[in-house]
Structure 1
Amino acid sequence: MHVRPAAAAAAAFLGLTLSLLCGPASYAAPGPGSAAPGPLGLGGPAVYAHRGASAYAPENTLEAVDLARRLGFDWVENDVQRTKDGELVVVHDDTLARTTDVEQLFPGRAPWRVKDFTAAEIARLDAGSWFGEEYAGARVPTLRQYLDRVRRNQQRLLLEIKKPELYPGIEEQTLRVLDRAGWLDRRHVSGRLVVQSFSADSVRTVHGLRPDLVTAFLGTPKVADLPAYAEFTDRINPWHTTISADWVAAVHRLSGAHGRAMEVDTWIVDDAATARKVRDMGVDGIITNAPDVVREAVGGF
């Protein structure tokens, strides 16, 4: 889902207006199974800006993070992969073709996999023009650049370790970068950071290395299998089409790795009707490309 320049400008204006009215967002993380108060006193599920405000700006760029901030959103989500020379970068696909001009700059290097390019080569790529001319020149950020921007914006981060099977040791490396960027202190660990992955082994590894961190597994395990996940994770984050109210309740009945009721943050929900549907199922959070649409629909924060 992409919104072209006029809509993006309108979204940015809306965000500026909300910022002026409400001031900087600084909301406490919701407790398990609860709906914490959001802006203007609203309650509802937490709303996560998926890859930044990616309906209105190029995904996983600093521009998308900043737009999420202007729209008043505290939580942003990103994806982490590794370059040929060992730098962690923020990009969703394991190839660079969809969201950059890599085919023009490096025409002879198909299939343009992230792991086959150095950080310096990736830094040359335009990661914005594919989305809209107004974003020409946006770059693929390194993880450190991304962390610094999210921290400067006083936002919170849902960090996804993407395709860890391609990058042995990426869990430990990600934790080192988080530590050096000041993201593993008590303040961040207690309410500003969640690490997730589609790989149960990767989530288990992160939990083993940093048992204090909140972690999430991306997927929809069978109810009978949930207790095994509860041993090493705090949240189960499923695709919205795969869940029911009974399944959400089954997750909530379990205590996760930190002894609290497990949570459910569902993805990717971009329309009002689906947002209300999953809210009524009892989800704790909604991950969305269009956070403003979801917030208006469910009163989330």
Structure 2
Amino acid sequence: MDKKIVIAHRGASGYLPEHTIEAKAMAYAMNVDFIEQDLVLSKDDVPIVIHDIYLDDVTDVAIKFPKRARNDGRFYVIDFTFNELKTLNVRERFYPKTGKQVYPNRFPKDKGNFKLHSLQEEIELIQGLNKSTGKNIGIYPEIKAPVFHQKEGKNLTEVVLKILSDYGYKTQKDNCILQCFDAKELERIRVELRSKLFLVQLIEFSEETNQLKHYATYANGIGPWYKQILDKKVNDKWQFTSLISNAHNLNLKVHPYTFRADNLDEFSTFKEMMQTILVEANADGAFTDFPDKVLSFLQRQTTTIK
């Protein structure tokens, strides 16, 4: 954990539809440090690797099961069995109302034959590749919407922890980082459920950055939105908030999200983004849709230092 780590955000999602097995295999081949799995339960309690509790912005569920939407018009993973979910085709992320791709220059939305898969299937792929290649690439699962699952009578966290344990992920040495946006749930994982895994508290809102001392009582790191690290530009040079230095003072690692080469916002180039956050701000790693680009950048940094 001492080097800067590269986390394949939803796999190599800049190149293939997010959270597909194909995107994970591509990320693995890029030699990332960790591959991310967002987790939501199916109707029959199988942890599905998908970014949201919804299906209608990454699959053809509205075509295959048009009458299965809830009153809000959305289609929920939790309303479908694993076998039903397996019949869906996964697509590049799109806006359900318009059908337009969120990132128009990525993999064409209506091409390919991609499917949903379970946490177990992905772990077996990664562990199998670790065995056949001799590498030791880790997993970085996220407990998604725990309160929603609890209201639906589901125990997502307990199901996930048991599967992780069954596959040998039990301690901080087992190359698994577990993350969650819900601070109460992540603390429960450490205190009540007594997990010894490396835990990362994800941070979405600016006021949460003031809770670092509390996070440090149960978490090993934080995952902030990268914009929470940036303050302002002075003479064309970025100034930073105290978030990373404060976290480091509490022995918390910092893995900001999300580095996207096709969505730069404040930056003129992807290289500038990487240089600013990873080098100048001294983040400990990055969630990225383009892991090969971040790995290449870090490799050049290492070569330059040598």
TM-score of Structure 1 vs Structure 2, range by shorter chain: 0.7 to 0.9
Structure-to-structure mapping, 1:1-301, within 5 angstroms: 30-31=1-2, 36=3, 45-110=4-69, 111-128=74-91, 131-132=107-108, 136-154=112-130, 155-168=137-150, 169-184=155-170, 189-208=172-191, 209-219=193-203, 224-243=210-229, 244=240, 246-254=242-250, 261-270=251-260, 271-279=270-278, 280-299=280-299
Say if 1:245 and 1:151 are closer, same or farther in 2 by CA, change over 3 A: farther
Say if 1:72 and 1:135 are closer, same or farther in 2 by CA, change over 3 A: farther
Deviation, structure 1 residue 148: 1.0
Letter in 1 for 2:11: G
Of 194-203 and 205-214, the range deviating more from structure 2: 205-214
SS in 2 for 1:92: coil
Q: Is the Cα–Cα contact under 8 Å of residues 245 and 281 in structure 1 kept in the other structure?
A: no
Give the whole-Å Cα distance in 2 for the aligned partners of 1:80 and 1:215. Answer: 15
Q: Give the structure-1-normalised TM-score.
A: 0.78
Q: Is the Cα–Cα contact under 8 Å of residues 195 and 214 in structure 1 kept in the other structure?
A: yes
Letter in 1 for 2:252: M
Q: Give the structure-2-normalised TM-score.
A: 0.76
Q: Is the Cα–Cα contact under 8 Å of residues 123 and 139 in structure 1 kept in the other structure?
A: yes
Say if 1:144 and 1:135 are closer, same or farther in 2 by CA, change over 3 A: farther
User: Paired residue for 2:233?
Assistant: none
- Superposition RMSD in Å: 2.1
Letter in 1 for 2:290: A
Letter in 1 for 2:46: E
Say if 1:146 and 1:221 are closer, same or farther in 2 by CA, change over 3 A: farther
Unaligned 5+ runs, structure 2: 94-106, 131-136, 230-239, 261-269
Give the whole-Å Cα distance in 2 for the aligned partners of 1:52 and 1:212. Answer: 25
Q: Is the Cα–Cα contact under 8 Å of residues 178 and 197 in structure 2 kept in the other structure?
A: yes
Deviation, structure 1 residue 211: 3.6
Give the whole-Å Cα distance in 1 for the aligned partners of 2:210 and 2:177. Answer: 25
Give the whole-Å Cα distance in 2 for the aligned partners of 1:269 and 1:139. Answer: 25
Give the whole-Å Cα distance in 1 for the aligned partners of 2:122 and 2:66. Answer: 28
Give the whole-Å Cα distance in 2 for the aligned partners of 1:191 and 1:274. Answer: 31
Deviation, structure 1 residue 136: 2.4
Q: Is the Cα–Cα contact under 8 Å of residues 101 and 125 in structure 1 kept in the other structure?
A: yes
SS in 1 for 2:17: coil
User: Paired residue for 2:263?
Assistant: none
Give the whole-Å Cα distance in 2 for the aligned partners of 1:119 and 1:147. Answer: 17
